[in-house]
Amino acid sequence: MANGSMDRRAFSEPPEQHGGNGNGMGHSAEYTGRYVVVLDPRDQESGLNALRSSAGIAPVERVRGAAAANVTELLERPDVSVLFENLSVAVVEVPPDKRFALVTTAEAESSILAAEPERWVYASPITAPQQAPTDFYPAYRSDEDVVARHSLAETAVSLGPALDEQSVTWGLQVIRANVSGMSGRGVKVAVLDTGVDTDHPDLVGCVEETASFVPGQTVEDAHGHGTHCIGTVAGPADPRQGPRYGVACDARILAGKVLANNGRGPDGGILAGIEWAIARGAKVISLSLGARVLPGAIFPQTYEMLAGVALEMGTVIVAAAGNSSLRPGLVSPVERPANCPSILAVGSLDKAMRMAHDSCGGINGEGGEVNIAAPGVSVRSAAPGGGYATMSGTSMATPHVAGVLALLAEANPDASAADLKAMLLAGALPLTHPVRDVGAGLLQAP
């Protein structure tokens, strides 16, 4: 048996197709009706043959590397299954009466490592009114005593001064990106989101390549989420209109549109984006997206295995922890796929180093922890149409982390992806908040 009880649990929810309500905020998972299957990379064909004979999957089209940029139409066809060869993962079409056969085959066939229903994933939305922002932030000094105390909100207020965002956003100030000697020069960061405003005056210089994995939609961002995230990663040192808001001003952006203009996309498009980004040399993949999970749920084996493959191929995946909490009364579990052990999960802080009221926490144990926290409330960045917008959420915290990983990659060109992860967490500033909420602490630039 290749998978055991974990897959049984993954299949325990009914994999019927749901249209969804467009915001992903219901507790029930929303499925596309297809399945994601991870195959043994040394023996992909045995697994596919088993699924053909027992589950009647649709004929398989193989896609490899950068060719994934052209896979959108294939993923839409009900008569085709798609195998991403580098990742060794397939998105398969299965007749409704053969779904149980797919489950039993996945459990019995040793060359099938994992299989799960494909889900819809969302740009992480804010679910409740935001907390009123504070006018103060922790003052930064070099002596350890102050550093040790500055994580307390009370200390932050007493240390003031009032936040000045005339030249640099508060987020860049608290992670010290504005005083880093690094700029991310030459490091590729893939932002898989709702696309990008390719004509934005601040971003035309940093977007190196684009691809849309959304049927019928170009990479242009009619939503705004993707453009905002890309701006936080790599907005320029001297934007057309201040303050500076980009962490790694000289990083190169691979903009993959995996969420439609309504902020929704299936796992298959995200997997295609990951295959494409790795092939194009991304050192970091930033995922400001997710799907809710219930308390006690386990992480998805499919994404965990993909994240492990990505690390081996030199790419760190970072993802938003999710915004479904209603603090202080309710702390919801870290969402999918950030709840995978090999993916960095990012929590959200406000200007006073308080947890964002909606930031999810590590309450689901193995793999479901928050790894690090970053600025995520009232974050200013680029917006479609050449302008600017202020947004909040773990979606906004995540690209801060992606940007700092680019800085670390520039400073340590020979470091492996695992080394970069370790350095990022080791450099975080410990906070007094529960580890459940902030992991290693506040993100810090090298």
Q: What amino acid positions are annotated as catalytic residues? A: 193, 225, 395
Cα separation, 421 vs 311, in Å, equals 10
How far is 372 from 424, CA to CA, in rounded Å?
9
Q: Where are the beta strands (DSSP E) in 243-386?
A: 252-257, 264-266, 284-287, 289-290, 316-320, 344-349, 372-375, 379-383
- Residue 267: how many CB atoms within 10 A of its CB? 27
Of 377, 363, 291, 289, the C-alpha closest to 332 is 363
Handedness of CA 261, 263, 268, 270 (dihedral sign): positive
C-alpha pair distances (Å), 335 with each of 75, 100, 352: 24, 27, 25
What is the distance between the alpha carbons of residues 219 and 196, in angstroms, rounded to a whole number? 6
Q: Which one-letter amino acid corresponds to residue 225?
A: H
Spatial distance between the Cα atoms of 391 and 382, rounded to a whole number of angstroms: 10
Residues 6+ apart with CB under 8 A from 292: 24, 25, 26, 27, 29, 322, 324, 332, 335, 336
Encoded amino acid at 271, one letter: L
Nearest to 387 by CA among 168, 227, 209: 227
Angle between helices 301-312 and 417-426 (to 10 degrees): 100
Rounded to the nearest 10 degrees, how much is the dihedral formed by the CA atoms of 176, 177, 179, 180?
110
**Residue 106 DSSP label:** H
d(CA 191, CA 45): 32
Distance (Å, whole) CA 84 – CA 289: 21
Contact call for residues 293 and 336 (beta carbons, < 8 A): yes
Q: What are the φ/ψ torsions at residue 375 (nearest 5 degrees)?
A: -60, 125
> Strand, helix or coil at 386?
coil
- Only one residue has tokens 């048996």, namely 1
How many helices (H) and strands (E) the chain has is answered by 13, 16
Q: Residue 153 corresponds to which amino acid? A: A
